[in-house]
Amino acid sequence: MKVRSILYRVYERYLLHQVKTGPKPHHIGLIVDGNRRFAKTHGLPTLHHGHLAGSEKLESFLRWCFELDIKIVTLYGFSIENHRRSDDEVENLMFLIMQKFKEFQVDPMIKEQSVRIRVLGRRENLSDAMNAEIDKVELMTQDHDQFHLNIAISYGGRAEIIDAVKKIACEIERGQLHVEDVDEDLFARYLYTEGMPDPDLIIRTSGEERLSGFLLWQSAYSELYFTEVFWPAFRRIDFWRAMRVWQQRERRFGK
């Protein structure tokens, strides 16, 4: 075990050197998956402990991004489809998400790192209590300008595109836009991620290899990285591996 520990530390330092000296993604998308399976494999009550462990992992991940000066993280926290889960699980998830927003309001890291927090999704599907906490944390961080944390809640990529189409259609109907004005740049201004660059890298944990509706428009040229590791067990070295793979890929954007 001691030899393995020494080899691990040597490999960790080697990876960090590679990652720190290479290019960095400006924007990372994160699909956190595997909380329930993590709980099951550890003999923990699935509904609470798995999701709690996943919630606690977020702070570590943000610190890893700060360390590498990665400016934007967009987290897939809760999809529109997740509303179809059992009432107990949805209630538990919403409780943990609300608690996380309350923690952000007093977390010195958010202020020290000047992290702006925004929520992406159909907020009309959320409770008044949840929306009140979202309003508080968004208002509190609206002037922060070093890092951006976007949390997709009650989010769906198709829903986002439909919402953008409806907004554009309304402005055309009112005469504020003309059909010939609509192009990719204009359309992007009506998405939830208005003003943000598209993600350079999207990471999904737990072995699933699909986007599940995450940032469908914005991910057209994102590099995708899938790992078997469950989200609560995701380590800094796993993150560095994802970064190294991204650095080794050639991004040609169709050229």
Residues marked active site are found at: 33, 82
* Cα–Cα distance for residue pair 149/193, rounded to 1 Å: 11
* Cα–Cα distance for residue pair 30/34, rounded to 1 Å: 13
- Which among 15, 7, 160, 153 has a CA at the least distance from the CA of 79? 153
* Cα–Cα distance for residue pair 153/80, rounded to 1 Å: 8
Phi, psi of 127 (to 5 degrees): -70, 160
* Residue 105 · residue 134 · CB < 8 Å: no
In this structure, what DSSP letter does residue 70 have?
Answer: -
* Residue 62 · residue 140 · CB < 8 Å: no
The residues with which 74 forms a beta bridge, in sequence order, are: 29, 150
Other residues' Cβ atoms within 10 Å of the Cβ of residue 92: 18
Residue 98 amino acid letter: M
* Cα–Cα distance for residue pair 176/186, rounded to 1 Å: 13
Other residues' Cβ atoms within 10 Å of the Cβ of residue 99: 13
Tokens of 243: 């970064």
- Which among 247, 246, 234, 249 has a CA at the least distance from the CA of 62? 234
